[in-house]
Chain A
Amino acid sequence: MTKTTTPLSESQVKAWLGDVKDPEIPVISIADLGVLYDVTVDNNEVLVTILPTYSGCPAMDTMQEDIVEHLKQQGVDQVRVVVKNTPAWTTDRITKQGRRQLQAYGIAPPLEKSGQPISCPQCGSTNTTCISQFGSTACKALYRCEDCLEPFDYFKCHV
């Protein structure tokens, strides 16, 4: 059994974790979603800290398993995932790239300023109506575009 001779670096681990996607929105990584909070390496033992989105989010367990599984594939066996509630996750933690990925996937990204209109991810129209405050998951609401008539998910602002 040969072990890697160079010690693990935190930036290397972070780069690997860039491939771990949100299980419910598989186009955005947990890093771009702002769920990945911290990575520390101590003596080749990796400690990954994540911030849950919603308190009851059922995807958190899958995310933890995915993190362990991903790092195992890179030969890292000693991984501990800690779920932390402080600081509380907010949608401000979603990166610019993450917002673009949501939009391209057909999910309107959370508003950056309140009072702005929510625009349709299909045609860009701001003539949209809220159909239901909850969409397919706790983090989304259901909207409809009054111009192209397509319904779409809006990633709710959570600050």
Chain B
Amino acid sequence: MNKAIEHYLLRLADTALTQSQRIAEWCGHGPFLEEDIALTNVALDLLGHAKLLYEQAAEVSEQDVSADDLAFLRDVDAFKNPILTELPRGDFAFTTLKQYFVDQFNVLLYQALMDSQYQPLSDIATKALKEVRYHLTRSRDWCLRLSLSTDEAKQKMQAALDDLYFYTPELFETDDQLNQLMAESIIPDMSALHNQWQQQVDELLNKCQLKTPTSGWLATGGLRGEHSEHLGYMLADMQFLQRAYPGCEW
């Protein structure tokens, strides 16, 4: 059981960490000062969630590892995040829509995880939910604002949707270990969660007057450690310090 829990904790932690790293890349590049600060604050919250999740994963791991080891010393094929969160940050529309998809997922997931039969996960969810709810308010607002403004902004939002849409089902992908955790009510039923998510997303995209694409390449593989070429570059950047100066601390 611990193996499956560790596997899932890493899935969530890697998702939070990669998402955090991508939006932190906006630091100093935001479209204007307030938004630059907002993006990095969201990144900081997500990094906090990753830390809590890695600490718990280190706790249940049979190996003698720390949260830092898990974040900074694992290679691409050990990462379990969906491909969605490792995609390059793109333009502001792309970042905003991706953030909305992830925020909507996080809110529904952490809401459900509060009832987890595994207490540490329920505790982390209680803490994280307060923050991701706020993220969702922000990213929803931005999706509406961009989609309903100038033609150029609307076009960029539509292009972002066309590019991103078929990466989203992977958020809900399961495997034998996750199915086992679902059976034990440690994690929620992922297909039910997907339905709830889809309903919320359809409603917003409708308000945004954006057209949902009907076909595209369906992303898969993150849970098995199969990633796009982008993750390697991200890790090279993010893990550089710990690789070059092992054990280095601030």
In the bound complex, do residue B37 and residue A135 qualify as a contact, i.e. CB atoms below 8 Å apart?
A: yes
Please provide the chain B residues from 49 to 88 with a CB less than 8 Å away from any CB of chain A in the complex.
Answer: 49, 51-52
Pick from B35, B44, B45: contact of A132, CB under 8 Å: B35
Q: Which residue of A lies closest to B129 (CB)?
A: A88
B34 at the interface (CB under 8 A from A): yes
A67 CB to closest chain B CB (Å) equals 19
Q: Which residue of B lies closest to A131 (CB)?
A: B34
Pick from B38, B49, B126, B128: contact of A134, CB under 8 Å: B38
In the complex, per-residue mask of A91-115: 1 if CB is within 8 Å of any chain B CB, else 0? 0000000000000000000000000
B200 CB to closest chain A CB (Å) equals 19
B138 at the interface (CB under 8 A from A): yes
Assembled-state Cα–Cα distance A85/B131 (Å): 13
Assembled-state Cα–Cα distance A133/B38 (Å): 7
In the bound complex, do residue A133 and residue B51 qualify as a contact, i.e. CB atoms below 8 Å apart?
A: no
B235 / chain A contacts, CB cutoff of 8 Å: none
B123 at the interface (CB under 8 A from A): yes
B46 at the interface (CB under 8 A from A): yes
Q: A54-B48, A56-B47 are in contact. Are A134 and B131 (CB under 8 A)?
A: no
Assembled-state Cα–Cα distance A134/B130 (Å): 15
A58 CB to closest chain B CB (Å) equals 7
A158 / chain B contacts, CB cutoff of 8 Å: 130, 134
In the bound complex, do residue B48 and residue A57 qualify as a contact, i.e. CB atoms below 8 Å apart?
A: yes
The number of chain B residues with a CB under 8 A from chain A is: 26
Q: A85-B123, A133-B134 are in contact. Are A55 and B48 (CB under 8 A)?
A: yes
A57 CB to closest chain B CB (Å) equals 7
A79 at the interface (CB under 8 A from B): no
Q: Which residue of B lies closest to A88 (CB)?
A: B127
A4 at the interface (CB under 8 A from B): no
B41 / chain A contacts, CB cutoff of 8 Å: 134, 137-138
B43 / chain A contacts, CB cutoff of 8 Å: 56
Pick from A55, A90, A133, A142: contact of B49, CB under 8 Å: A55
Q: Which residue of B lies closest to A56 (CB)?
A: B48
B137 at the interface (CB under 8 A from A): yes
A137 / chain B contacts, CB cutoff of 8 Å: 41
A159 at the interface (CB under 8 A from B): yes
B124 at the interface (CB under 8 A from A): yes
Assembled-state Cα–Cα distance A131/B38 (Å): 11
In the bound complex, do residue B127 and residue A138 qualify as a contact, i.e. CB atoms below 8 Å apart?
A: no
A70 at the interface (CB under 8 A from B): no
Most interface-central of A135, A138, A158 (chain B CB within 10 A): A138
B176 CB to closest chain A CB (Å) equals 30
B38 / chain A contacts, CB cutoff of 8 Å: 132-134
In the complex, per-residue mask of A57-95: 1 if CB is within 8 Å of any chain B CB, else 0? 110000000000000000000000000011010100000
B123 / chain A contacts, CB cutoff of 8 Å: 85-86, 88
Q: Can you list 10 A-B pairs with a CB-CB distance of less than 8 A?
A: A54-B44, A55-B49, A55-B51, A56-B46, A90-B130, A133-B137, A134-B41, A138-B44, A138-B45, A158-B134
Residues of B within 8 A of A (CB): 34-35, 37-38, 41-49, 51-52, 123-124, 126-128, 130-131, 134, 137-138, 141
- Can you add 14 more A-B contacts, CB < 8 Å, to A54-B131, A138-B45? A54-B45, A55-B127, A56-B43, A56-B44, A56-B45, A56-B46, A56-B47, A56-B51, A57-B44, A57-B48, A88-B130, A133-B137, A134-B37, A137-B41
The 8 lowest CB-CB distance pairs between A and B, nearest first, are A55-B48, A56-B48, A132-B34, A56-B44, A134-B38, A134-B41, A88-B127, A138-B41
